């Protein structure tokens, strides 16, 4: 039995699809079962609730061999660490209680970064808690998600531009969420691995944001520019969207660490993922931008 958390998210939903294709037995932990596709609901065991609840975890992990762990976002949490760590602490205790042998968690690249990194530091703290379970553990260590660009459908459609905080001429490591799910599926269906380790998985490109803009331009068939946003301006934008000061700090610290190379050491050793940026733009971003403009 494989237990999957966040089965309605981008990564968790794709993981469930891949595991069902392989005829695996799956139990999902979901706050709102109505959000599951009907076809999925008929083929999985469902545990309703949140996976920071020990009672929910006890129901989910009974008889389980492996667990996929991802902490859902909560913009109302007092801090990223105050959100991630209690989830992980509850998960580690439940994994130990039920003697679950293998855990795959979604984390960030950059373990060992010496400076505060906001949301990324919270992910590292999560990994440390999950390792206390004693289970074999793989922290899928991810760089910048290509899907983050989907939040900029409107400016891409209306203004032909997108913005990040990093330098336009510095390579930015990226990953597609479907590749994260594929790596997780392989680990969860072949439990021959042991020990506890970080597993960086990066996409095959070494594009700069300016290079990304060129690819997007070619795929959309119209000019697209990259406009760098300063961290102060990004903080102002977050506040205008209602973010708390702690959330602003957590996010700006994370992007500052990204700007200063938190992913660089892992890039040299990362397992290569198959989805390149151009393919992702053609198959995911382009349809989303066209939908936004229609």
What are the pLDDT digits (tens) for 56-71?
Answer: 999 999 999 999 999 9
pLDDT value at residue 246: 87
pLDDT value at residue 71: 94
CATH number of 2-143+175-202: 3.40.50.300, 1.10.10.10, 2.60.40.10, 3.40.50.720?
3.40.50.720
DSSP label at residue 119:
H
Question: Which 3 state secondary structure label does DSSP give 86?
Answer: helix
Q: How far apart are CA 176 and CA 274, in angstroms?
A: 9
Greatest Cα pair distance in the chain: 56
Q: How far apart are CA 96 and CA 130, in angstroms?
A: 10
Chain mean position to CA 41? 23
Segments of the chain scoring below 50 in pLDDT: none
Q: How far apart are CA 255 and CA 257, in angstroms?
A: 5
Element (H, E) at 163: strand 161-164
pLDDT value at residue 91: 97
pLDDT value at residue 50: 94
pLDDT value at residue 238: 85
pLDDT value at residue 233: 87
Chain mean position to CA 13? 12
CB atoms within 10 A of CB 80: 27
pLDDT value at residue 25: 95
Task: Count H helices and E strands in the chain, helices first.
Answer: 13, 12
Q: Where are the domains of the chain?
A: 2-143+175-202
Decide: 98 and 67 in contact? Cβ < 8 Å.
no
Give the side-chain half-sphere CA count within 13 A for 181.
21
pLDDT value at residue 73: 84
| Pairing between β-strand 26-30 and β-strand 196-202 as defined by DSSP bridges | unpaired
pLDDT value at residue 294: 66
**Which residues face 145 on adjacent strands?**
175
Alpha-helical runs (H) found in 190-272: 209-220, 231-240, 245-259, 264-267
pLDDT value at residue 291: 83
pLDDT value at residue 292: 74
pLDDT value at residue 239: 87
pLDDT value at residue 235: 87
Q: How far apart are CA 270 and CA 38, in angstroms?
A: 36
Alpha-helical runs (H) found in 116-244: 119-131, 153-159, 177-189, 209-220, 231-240
Decide: 176 and 203 in contact? Cβ < 8 Å.
yes
pLDDT value at residue 94: 97
What are the two backbone dihedrals, phi and then psi, of residue 257, each rounded to the nearest 5 degrees? -65, -40
């Amino acid at each position: 039995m494989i237990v999957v958390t966040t089965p309605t998210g981008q990564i968790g939903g794709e993981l469930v699809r891949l595991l069902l294709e392989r005829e695996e037995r799956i139990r999902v932990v979901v706050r709102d079962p109505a959000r599951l596709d009907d076809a999925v609901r008929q083929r999985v065991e469902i545990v309703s609730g949140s996976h920071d609840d020990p009672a929910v975890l006890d129901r989910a992990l009974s008889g389980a061999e492996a667990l996929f762990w991802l902490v859902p976002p909560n913009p109302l949490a007092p801090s990223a660490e105050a959100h991630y760590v209690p989830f992980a602490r509850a998960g580690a205790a439940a994994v130990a209680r039920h003697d679950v042998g293998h855990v795959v968690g979604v984390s960030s690249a950059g373990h060992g970064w010496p400076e505060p990194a906001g949301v990324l530091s919270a992910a590292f703290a999560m990994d440390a808690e999950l390792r206390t379970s004693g289970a074999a553990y793989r922290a899928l260590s991810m760089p910048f998600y290509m899907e983050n660009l989907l939040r900029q459908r409107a400016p891409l459609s209306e203004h032909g531009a997108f913005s990040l905080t990093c330098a336009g001429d510095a390579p930015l490591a990226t990953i597609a969420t479907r590749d994260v799910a594929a790596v997780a599926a392989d680990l969860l269906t072949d439990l021959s691995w042991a020990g506890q380790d970080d597993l960086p998985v990066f996409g095959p490109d070494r594009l700069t944001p300016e290079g990304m803009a060129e690819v997007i331009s070619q795929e959309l068939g119209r000019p697209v520019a990259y406009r760098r946003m300063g961290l102060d301006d990004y903080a102002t934008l977050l506040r205008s969207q209602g973010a708390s000061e702690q959330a602003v700090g957590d996010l700006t610290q994370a992007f500052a660490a990204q700007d200063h190379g938190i992913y660089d050491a892992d890039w040299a050793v990362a397992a290569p993922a198959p989805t390149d940026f151009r393919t992702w733009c053609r198959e995911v971003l382009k349809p989303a931008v066209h939908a936004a403009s229609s």
